[in-house]
Structure 1
Amino acid sequence: GETTLRRHLRSDLVAVRKWTGTSSTYLQILMFSKGFHIIQAHRVAHVLWHKGHCWMALQIQDAVNKRYAIDIHPTALLGRRVVM
């Protein structure tokens, strides 16, 4: 079956394309959407945290914070179809 991360990635991609009103392709969103990158990095950090890899999760959080000046703690729970 499809993993939760993969399901969220798919639904987030669809949401970004739908709600931003752009004519971007899914590939363009994957490559260039900063908000999409932030959300996907958080989702990976969240899974790592709950699997006991807190240090790795915090490293991802720190890298995202330094790159995009946004801070989402790895324990924060995000729903489906998130657009930033």
Structure 2
Amino acid sequence: MVAMWRPPERFQSPAFIKRALYSESCRDEEGNPFNVVVWREWPGLSTTSYTLEDGTPVQYEDECVFRIVTTGKLLTRCD
């Protein structure tokens, strides 16, 4: 009997798709409504990322303010 040799397969990490935790209703300076989605980057870690509903990246500034990365527009979630 002849054994066939095959190179070991490359290690592949388990596939994980970002998970939306919740969304925040916000408004810009002109009063236009936006929804900021809060994403979990990896299970078990407290790392989060933020985007608008259309996928535009958003940066967390403080507990009341987000900044749209591409435009610099500020979004407020606190009244």
Shorter-normalised TM range: under 0.3
Greater helix fraction, Structure 1 or Structure 2? 1
Greater strand fraction, Structure 1 or Structure 2? 2
Q: Which has the larger radius of gyration?
A: 2
TM-score by length of 2: 0.25
TM-score by length of 1: 0.24
Which one scores higher on RCO, CA 8 angstroms, separation ≥ 6? 1
